[in-house]
Amino acid sequence: MSGVKITTDNASAVLSALLNLSKTEVLVGIPEQNANREDGEVLNNAEIAYLQSTGGDVVLGGQTVTLTPRPFLDIGIEDTSDITSGFLADAASSAMDGDDAAASRALEKAGITAQNGAKRVISDGDRLAPLSPATLADRRRNGIPGQKPLYAHGYLLRSVNYVVRKK
């Protein structure tokens, strides 16, 4: 006899929670249901976010415009990585305890934290490439205040979200 006495066997709960965790992912970005623009713009928020994040040439209003990369999602996720890593560790620990509900709550916290980090990058605006003189002039012409990149009306900011889903 080893002297070990089993009082409860929660191996199946632990295995179930670990299996659920391994099949789950946390995504931050612009889900399809948040992609439509409130202003009727042809491009939706997900397309605009991609173009803004990667930069490149795009035709807007019949004119080809070169967009400077403004990777707000990458920056926001990186800014919050220490905190989100802690939540992900909590999720793993909860799964090891067989507590699937606590693991799910920790994943939700990681998503909210990373989402808020990305939104903060847009709302602060100070770490993104500045707007071009042509864009600033266009904003003034259209009565749009401010000089923050990615923030003319707040449509893109409001569309940033997270999801916790099965892979």
Task: Look at residue 130 and tell me if it is in a domain.
Answer: yes
Task: Look at residue 2 and tell me if it is in a domain.
Answer: no
pLDDT in tens, 101-128: 999 999 999 999 999 999 999 999 999 9
Task: Look at residue 111 and tell me if it is in a domain.
Answer: yes
Please state the domain count of the chain.
1
Long-range contacts of 89-92 (CB under 8 A, 24+ apart): 91/21, 92/21
Question: Running DSSP on this structure, what letter comes out for residue 162?
Answer: E
pLDDT in tens, 23-38: 899 999 998 776 877 7
